[in-house]
Structure 1
Amino acid sequence: MADDQRSRTAPAEHRWPVVIAVLIALALHLFLPSSLLEVQRYIVAVVVVALLIPLIVLNPHRLVRQTRWSRNLEIVTALVLVAANQITLVLLVFQLVERAGDGTALLVASLQVWTTNVIAFALLYWVIDRGGPVARVHVPREDLAHADFRFPQDEDHDAVVEVARGSSRTSDWVPSFVDYLYFSLSNSMAFSPTDTMPLTHRAKLLMGLESFAGFILLALVIARAVAQIG
């Protein structure tokens, strides 16, 4: 407990890796085939950019300030991206099942939707876990919100010295966006947790939804590819 009560030493996270990831997701969404989304894609892009601008103004370089409205904007931004991509996924599934549209274009669109899904869920995990990116660094550990995910570094304090040196207890390590992006990617590829475990009901439901979406998409893409070969 004494370790948890010392002053925090973890550095504040950089803003721009998250911004770049969101812009990549929006670009993938914008360049989807017109048969999937027409006007809606531009509405989503405008809404997300409008939500993102005040967050960048508040923390242009490192995430050091958080207000109630900025916290709500972060959550809404992540939810908009996730929801928009799930709608696109449903439309894509219908086209894959009905074998409607150009096969090659649909296969490329499947990759776009899958990649956007990885980024969108990573953003949502990053926003909700332990009170968000600002709280994870600046709030004393005993006052942090309940953890949604358990990372390997959270339990490495009793490992060999060179491993324990980077643990949460020893170095005040906290997960950054890259950590959430990695386990979102592994969850979408393995369809199950790998090195990061969900701890709360909402975390389990979100990871289950991401895995299910990835599995359905992969199964239909394989079926479509086999049909084309045949």
Structure 2
Amino acid sequence: MTDAPQKAKIPAWRRPTDGEHRWQVAAVLALIIAAQLAEPRKLTLHPHWLLPAVEGVFLAVLLLSNPGRINRESVPLRSASLALAAIASLANAWSLVLLLTALLTGHEERSASSLLLVAAGIWGTNIVVFALWYWEFDRGGPVARAHAHRAHPDFLFPQMQVQELVSRDWEPAFFDYLYVSYTNATAFSPTDTMPMSRWAKLLMLMQSAVSIVTVGLVVARAVNIMR
């Protein structure tokens, strides 16, 4: 008689669930691919279409293999998902390095508005890329979260601390990790969601450093061009 009430008190993020929908992640990955194809060719790995095409193949494989909820334990699918995040990170990092190199050596001759648009695309893609890593690794990833394999979170969301103010069925989804990534990139530090594990702190540190360097150098260069 005591088991049922006790189970009812367990929050959703600590209970086995049906799993998260893949459409949210697929939608932002499609936007990343489109943004990479729209980047200037001299800021991408040649051939221009190679990495976006590889990302598209991995995304198609994931959608065809598990189009609904992400709750099936599979080493190949997990590897493909991590590989997709890694390729997206590599493509964006390559563009960022080329842009910063051009700025530091004085070879970037774009107008201020054009430069800001290119940097905004790279910066925005970086937010999505880090959101992917947060989503992929928090408590072992989406499949591990669906099966409640790990009780201790890597990110402590406010809803986890004030459970009486939120639905008992609340659990973090991809949008929550996207929000964490955005606020970390704009504030250069955690805001309302705290990193608990060392890897989470390291990733947030890296994202803040990349954001500071990108915004600082690009904005300074754009202002200089305007003058």
TM-score of the superposed pair, with normalisation by structure 1: 0.86
Question: Which of 22, 26, 29 lines up with 1:19 in the alignment?
Answer: 26
Deviation at 1:186, TM superposition (A): 0.6
Corresponding residue to 1:182 among 170, 179, 203:
179
After superposition, the Cα gap between the structure-2 partners of 1:209 and 1:41, relative to the gap in structure 1 and judged at 3 Å, is farther
Q: Which residue of 2 aligns with 1:112?
A: 121
The count of residues paired between Structure 1 and Structure 2 equals 218
| Distance apart, 1:85 and its partner CA | 1.0
Find the partner of 2:209 among 208, 212, 218: 212
Conserved? CA contact 2:24–2:174, under 8 Å? yes
Residues of 1 paired with 2:102 and 2:91: CA distance? 17
Structure 2: distance between partners of 1:226 and 1:102? 12
What are the within-5 Å matches in structure 2 for residues 6-155 of structure 1?
8=15, 10-37=17-44, 39-99=46-106, 100-103=108-111, 104-137=113-146, 139-140=147-148, 143-144=149-150, 146-155=152-161
Structure 2 distance, partners of 1:174, 1:68, is 24
Kept after mapping to 2: 8 A contact 1:65/1:134: yes
Distance 1:191 1:19, change over 3 A: same
For 1:101, the aligned partner's letter is E
Q: Distance in 2 between matches of 1:5 and 1:19?
A: 27
**Cα distance in 1 between the residues matched to 2:29 and 2:141:** 17
Q: What is the distance in 2 between the residues matched to 1:40 and 1:115?
A: 23
- CA separation in 1, counterparts of 2:45 and 2:131? 26
Q: Using the alignment, how far apart are the partners of 2:129 and 2:47 within structure 1?
A: 17
Amino-acid identity (%): 38
Q: CA deviation at 1:211?
A: 0.9
Superposed CA deviations along residues 31-52 of structure 1, whole A, max 9, x for unmatched, are 1112212524421112111211
Q: Report the CA distance between 1:98 and its aligned residue.
A: 2.9
Where 1:35 maps in the other structure, the secondary structure is helix
1:145, 1:124 → 2: CA distance?
19
**1:54 Cα offset (Å):** 2.0
CA contact (8 A) 1:131 1:145 kept: no
Gaps of 5+ in 1: none
Deviation at 1:173, TM superposition (A): 2.6
Superposition RMSD in Å: 2.2
Task: Assess, with a 3 A threshold, how the Cα gap between structure 1 residues 5 and 27 changes in structure 2: closer, same or farther.
Answer: closer
- Structure 1 CA distance for aligned equivalents of residues 15 and 115 of structure 2: 48
Give the distance between the partners of 1:196 and 1:40, measured in 2 at CA: 39
Query: Quick one: distance in 2 between partners of 1:5 and 1:191?
Result: 30
Q: Stretches of 4+ moved more than 4 A in 1?
A: 1-7
| C-alpha deviation, 1:81, in angstroms | 1.0
The structure, 1 or 2, with the larger RCO (C-alpha pairs under 8 Å, 6+ apart) is 2
User: Unmatched 5+ residue regions in structure 2?
Assistant: 1-5
Q: Read off the aligned partner of 1:127 and give its amino acid letter.
A: E
The Cα offsets for residues 97-130 of structure 1, whole Å up to 9 and x where unpaired, read as: 2332313432211011001001111111111111
Provide the residue aligned with 2:225 in structure 1.
228
TM-score when normalising by structure 2: 0.87
Q: 1:218 to 1:82 in 2, by over 3 A?
A: same
Q: Where does residue 195 of structure 1 map in the other structure?
A: 192
- Aligned with 1:175: secondary structure? coil
